[in-house]
Structure 1
Amino acid sequence: MKFSILIPVYNVESFLSRCLDSILVQKIQSYEVILVNDGSTDSSGSICDQYVKKYPQLFNVIHKKNAGVFSARRTGLVHAKGEYICFLDSDDYWAPNYLEELDAELAKQNPDVIIFGHYLVGDNHRLLETSHPSLPEGLYEKDSKHMVYATLLKDTSLNTLWCKCIRRALFDIDRDYSSMYHVTMGEDLLESLPILDKAETIKIIHTPLYNYYQNEGSATQTKLKIRTMNSTATVLQELEIYALKWDCSQYDLHQRQGLSVVFIIKQLVLHRFGKFSYSGEERSQIIARLQQDDFKQFIQRYDPSVAPLSLRLCFISFRKKWYAFFQLLLISFGSLYYCKKHWLPIRKGNKA
């Protein structure tokens, strides 16, 4: 069997059939689909059972207690039999030529990993954006693999598992990842690191083969949580281990780690008011988490000279432990942002 397709499933009854039907239209038939129902509370589990009943030669389902996407993927890997592993999120769907294109690329150069492009799509298949790996197309091996590793530090175009076709032999099936099941953000990068480390040949293609769905009707903003910060710290510490092993630029590593703090500061500034605003207690918890050793190190090593003045001031105040001034900056910048976004448009409208 050529391909094992792993699909974690959790409460996606509105999208699951579209996802699974996009597999059934593929011309290549040498595959198995492993559905891991991660404790869904809607009809997703029943939909999985229906596809297994209708296509028993292609579909398998595993029903388990909810433990997150990381755990669901590891469960699927244990049961996979294909030579190559493909990942598909259950609210997304494939291009009709997905397996055909991958099969052709594997026949050409037999790479260990293929990394490909994707479409960002909205409701009714509306195309929002086309993206691809930031590296040039081609085969990366031996010394040129360093370009792949360097890119991992500079951008996120190689992070996701669903943009990769991976030789199953690269997965350490027996490794116990349970200590990392708390990771709810960045788990794709966390799982990609050992794979790209072991791969001898990595093929980059820009062809979009995957449709990543963005629900335009739902709120895209969510409040930052401490568990998300913990996940980020775990992933960035693991990234540092591999960056040192690969002899990557320390500056690029520190900038990548520092960007996580930039994101957190922006969250605190942008959500000073409104639906997603943070309570005083929530802000205090986030700032206290930033003072712990891992994030403190990210802050100390980041070069803020490349950031806007507002962020530079935030970094300087935090480094010098001027926490009251840091809070004042957040209030000031948050108020300015709110006025610019909400008050100025009203003033302009009244003048018109």
Structure 2
Amino acid sequence: MSVAEPIHPSLVTVIVPVRNGRDLVSDLVARLVGAADELTEVVIVEDHSTDDTWAVLHEAVRGLDQFRVVQNPRSAGVASARNYALTLARGEFVWFADADDEWSPEIIHLLRSAAERTGADVVVCQAQLVGVGRQATVIDGLPDERALSRRDAWIALLGGELHGYLWSKLFRRQVLLDNLFSLLSSQSDFTGVARAISQSETIAFIPDVLYQHVVREGSITRSRQHRVDNLDVCVAELRAHLVADAPDLVDSALYASFVTWFVLLPMAETPGRVGAPFGVVVAESRRSRARLRQLPRSAFDQLRPSVRRRALLARTAGPFYSVPRMALQRVAHIKRRRS
């Protein structure tokens, strides 16, 4: 771990990358001011925007002593920006947020209080995915308070109770390694979370819903680029940690089921959902089918019923599953845009 300045006890460093976000800045700074207390510092890392975000940020934080606006030394994406900001973090704890999301004003206070009360290295709150129509679904965290060992955290990750989202978690700075995030075009959050868990003794959950990840038209999370291969990078990262920490889990049905819902189903479904070329949809669905057929039946038994049905259909039908699904999704998308 590299820390530019001494760590300050109880201080929370908030890290927010921003690129081409001039229209987000005013609301972002207001939300951060609303959540910050006297034991908070905010590092906003500007990632070589092509608009005037840099100037707008400086103007927005004028007079806010707890805020620092810095520029990533190189333009290499959000993972690089976060890695750079971590070298500047002075807090005992670190929380990452996305510039276009929303959160409770209590998030920093409640996460820090839980960390100090439990001694946990990572604290996880519940988070919601808020769709374009403002419909909200819980996507991370547990509805009760719980503390897990590292091994149990790996099991929770494999079972889908713990996810690789950054913004629903507070980390002790000491468990965040140098170059924490892999330089991927997507899914770098997952590699950072996995590496942090690998250095942690206790992972605590609190039931509060404190963060809303907002999906907007044109959002990077709705990018039409095809990035399924990054999921295989995440699985390789996770597998390496399991080999070191819990080797018995590597050959388990739970691990195989994780690969199914985390990689192989997205391989069959994501290209069509994001509008990839027809040839890519067919090729990826065939690749998914081939890999699904290599898995033991016990891997499917671990899945939730709705996911199991989709996986078995993709395993059996290949393109005859993905192509009709793509067509139905596009029809639904057109209807939503017209309504």
Q: 1:164 aligns with which of 142, 162, 169?
A: 169
Deviates more, 1:130-139 or 1:193-202: 130-139
How many Å apart are 1:91 and its aligned residue? 0.9
Q: 1:263 aligns with which of 243, 252, 266?
A: 266
Q: 1:277 to 1:127 in 2, by over 3 A?
A: closer
CA–CA distance in structure 1, aligned partners of residues 35 and 207 of structure 2: 20
How many Å apart are 1:155 and its aligned residue? 1.2
Instruction: List gaps (5 residues or longer) in structure 1.
Output: 318-325, 347-352
Q: 1:57 to 1:337 in 2, by over 3 A?
A: closer
Equivalent position amino acid for 2:209 in 1:
P
Q: 2:295 aligns with which of 279, 285, 301?
A: 301
In the alignment, structure 1 residue 100 sits paired with structure 2 residue 109 = yes
Could you tell me the TM-score, scaled by structure 1's length? Answer: 0.75
Equivalent position amino acid for 2:294 in 1:
Q
CA–CA distance in structure 2, aligned partners of residues 161 and 176 of structure 1: 12
What is the aligned partner in structure 2 of residue 153 from structure 1? 158
How many Å apart are 1:95 and its aligned residue? 1.1
Equivalent position amino acid for 1:312 in 2:
L
CA–CA distance in structure 2, aligned partners of residues 27 and 176 of structure 1: 24
What is the aligned partner in structure 1 of residue 323 from structure 2? 334
SS at match of 1:39: coil
SS at match of 2:211: strand
Identity of aligned residues (%): 20
How many Å apart are 1:207 and its aligned residue? 0.6
How many Å apart are 1:127 and its aligned residue? 6.3
Q: 1:67 to 1:276 in 2, by over 3 A?
A: same
How many Å apart are 1:73 and its aligned residue? 0.7
How many Å apart are 1:165 and its aligned residue? 0.7
Contact 1:255 1:302 in 2 (8 A): no
Contact 2:45 2:71 in 1 (8 A): yes
What is the aligned partner in structure 1 of residue 3 from structure 2? none
Q: 2:148 aligns with which of 133, 136, 140?
A: 140
Equivalent position amino acid for 2:57 in 1:
C
CA–CA distance in structure 2, aligned partners of residues 239 and 104 of structure 1: 29
CA–CA distance in structure 2, aligned partners of residues 106 and 314 of structure 1: 42
**CA deviation digits over 1:81-134, x for unaligned, max 9?**
11111101111133111222123223423322111112444679x562445513
Q: 1:128 aligns with which of 114, 118, 136?
A: 136
CA–CA distance in structure 2, aligned partners of residues 118 and 149 of structure 1: 19
Contact 2:20 2:51 in 1 (8 A): yes
How many Å apart are 1:168 and its aligned residue? 0.5
Contact 1:52 1:61 in 2 (8 A): no
Instruction: List gaps (5 residues or longer) in structure 2.
Output: 1-7, 302-306
**Aligned-residue RMSD, C-alpha:** 3.5
CA–CA distance in structure 2, aligned partners of residues 149 and 234 of structure 1: 17
Structure of higher CA gyration radius:
1
Q: 1:310 to 1:166 in 2, by over 3 A?
A: closer
